[in-house]
Structure 1
Amino acid sequence: MEQEKIEEIKKKISVLKWDKMRNQINPGKLAQLSALESELRQLEESA
């Protein structure tokens, strides 16, 4: 289950990073990206 959640977060991060790369990201999405990255780090550390 943890692994599925990690994969889901990685997918969301890659989509947000793609938007950021194309300069089509708003502050809300940028905050979401940051939150997802920290959540991913925590999950990987506890796994």
Structure 2
Amino acid sequence: MPTIVKKVGLVLLTGGYDFKRVISRLSKRLREERDRQLMEEIVNE
């Protein structure tokens, strides 16, 4: 998570990115993480 925060900070500082694209990419990554955790929980049960 901290690395993601650092990336966002760099992007905001440089302003060289389309903000919406960054947000959508972050949310997509977070969603994938959550899905993986859910799958692991289901498998462990």
For the pair shown, the structure with the greater C-alpha radius of gyration is 2
TM-score by length of 2: 0.49
